[in-house]
Amino acid sequence: MACSSQEKSPNTFREVELGRRERKKASDITFFEDGKADLFCCSIPQHHTSTCELAGKWCNHSDTVQFLHASSQGGSSIDRPNQNPSFTLIAGYGNGTIHPLSVNHELFERIIVTFQLSDKIESMVRSIHGACGRFVEHKGGKKSLLIIFSTPKAPVREVLCAIRYDLATSSLTCLLFDTKRSELDQTINAILRGPLSRLARRNPLALMTIVIQQCGLTSEEKRQALDDNILGAEFITKSTPWSDPNIVVVQKLYNFYEATSILHLSYNNLIFVHHAINFEITSLKHLRAMAEDQRIKPLLEAGASEDEWHSVLDDIDFELGHTIYRKGQVECLKERATIQIGVMNNIIAHRTTSQTNLIALLALVFAPASLTASIFSAGIFETNERSWVSYVASTIPVTFATVAIGLLFLERQRVVQTLRGLRGVARENERKADPGSIRSV
């Protein structure tokens, strides 16, 4: 019996270790507590033309379980080739890290299994880099298109979208998570009631275009706020002819120290916005590549009329061009912020230098008088009631001479610094005018 127990112990330890690893893997994502959920569930037949009844509803845990049970009663769309195509949307909020997903782990896995979504969803929730990919699945002799979209983990907007598109029946299922409930409501409203809503319910490219458009609205809103900060800094430093008293980088004008801190923070946020816009551009290019992929293009076109298909392509091209232009604006803002940080640092340095020069000048005024007084009080010379005349007569010329020498020295230093700056500018201009000569040297 002892030998038998020793033989079983390695397997037992292995099972415990595997279980521990699985629990740790699941704990990497933060969910709601068991038995809790707050999800938007909506299922719409594709022939449904009215938009006033496409409200769906927010469901707790038990309501979501009933929704999944009703959806799985007849099997998936792959198992029901004769059923009319439908659109199913399950949406929640949270990012799985700082903000927990508004669903518990068990229900989250059940949603993925019920609608046969991509098994890469959990790994994408953990990822901080973001991704946009598509996979063609063959099952039962029929094809399904799986799309997964996850934005980078950054303080702009974090969205996770997983789509399953049955190419045989044009049925579409979408699992969507957004960090904030308010932003999620806007996306849901755009999907159900926006200009592309009818097409988005049966074409995954149109649906993905809406999701990326919503991400673009958030990045543009943050860019505008940062633009206001930089414009306020330009107003303070008088670097722009345009001024608006309602746009000020700080509450108190000419508080350059606080303005510099805000500019540094704005520049840091511009880096995140720039990264988010780059990801939007990459995702839109990926959608365009999907539309041109000859393996799935005929199947995607079958879910839309010719006019609708060209409308989707036009929307993707427009969003791509507009997003590239916004990227240029962010790059310009980064340059403007860098310039303003340099200008304010120069102003602060100039003020500091002026204060130092004032202190030095005061020292030059009082130092000769102190030196002369110490000499008279040292007993070297005989003093009497008339000694103060000698003290004043000797102190005044020494003070004037010392102050004059100090002023000449400060002026000489200022001239030298100015000449050094002009020489640097001249070298920079020569390098820009003839870069070949610089390389040859």
What CA–CA distance (Å, rounded) separates 175 from 21?
27
Burial pattern 217-237, b for ≥16 Cβ within 10 A else e, equals ebbbebbeebbbbbbbbbbbb
DSSP per residue, 305-349: -HHHHHHHHHHHHHHHHHHHHHHHHHHHHHHHHHHHHHHHHHHHH
Neighbouring-strand partners of residue 150 = 131, 160
Instruction: Kindly calculate the radius of gyration of the chain based on its CA atoms and give it in whole angstroms.
Output: 35
Asked if 135 contacts 160 with a C-beta cutoff of 8 angstroms, the reply is: no
By residue count, the chain amounts to 441
- pLDDT at residue 156, as a whole number: 86
Handedness of CA 386, 391, 396, 398 (dihedral sign): positive
**Cα distance from N-terminal residue to C-terminal residue, the chain:** 87
- pLDDT at residue 159, as a whole number: 92
What CA–CA distance (Å, rounded) separates 194 from 115?
25
Give the CA distances from residue 223 to residues 130, 140, 253, 266, in Å, rounded to whole numbers and listed in that order.
20, 48, 23, 10
β-bridge pairing 86-93 and 171-178:
parallel
Asked if 249 contacts 259 with a C-beta cutoff of 8 angstroms, the reply is: yes
Q: How far is CA 358 from the centre of its chain?
A: 45
β-bridge pairing 57-59 and 39-45:
antiparallel
Token couple for 127: 């990822």
What CA–CA distance (Å, rounded) separates 261 from 266?
9
- Residues near 384 by Cβ (< 8 Å), separated by ≥ 6? none
Check residue 165 and give left, alpha or beta (phi > 0: left; psi -120 to 50: alpha). beta
Asked if 243 contacts 231 with a C-beta cutoff of 8 angstroms, the reply is: no
In degrees and rounded to multiples of 5, residue 296 shows phi and psi of: -120, -10
- Residues near 322 by Cβ (< 8 Å), separated by ≥ 6? 216
- pLDDT at residue 344, as a whole number: 82
Q: Which candidate, 39, 81, 317, places its Cα nearest to that of 181?
A: 39
Residues of the chain with pLDDT under 50: 1-11, 13-14, 16-18, 20-21, 23-26, 50-54, 74-83, 250-253, 437-441
DSSP state of 303: T
**Model pLDDT for residues 95-146, shown as the tens digit of each residue:** 888 889 999 999 999 999 888 887 788 888 887 888 888 888 877 667 788 8
Asked if 347 contacts 239 with a C-beta cutoff of 8 angstroms, the reply is: no
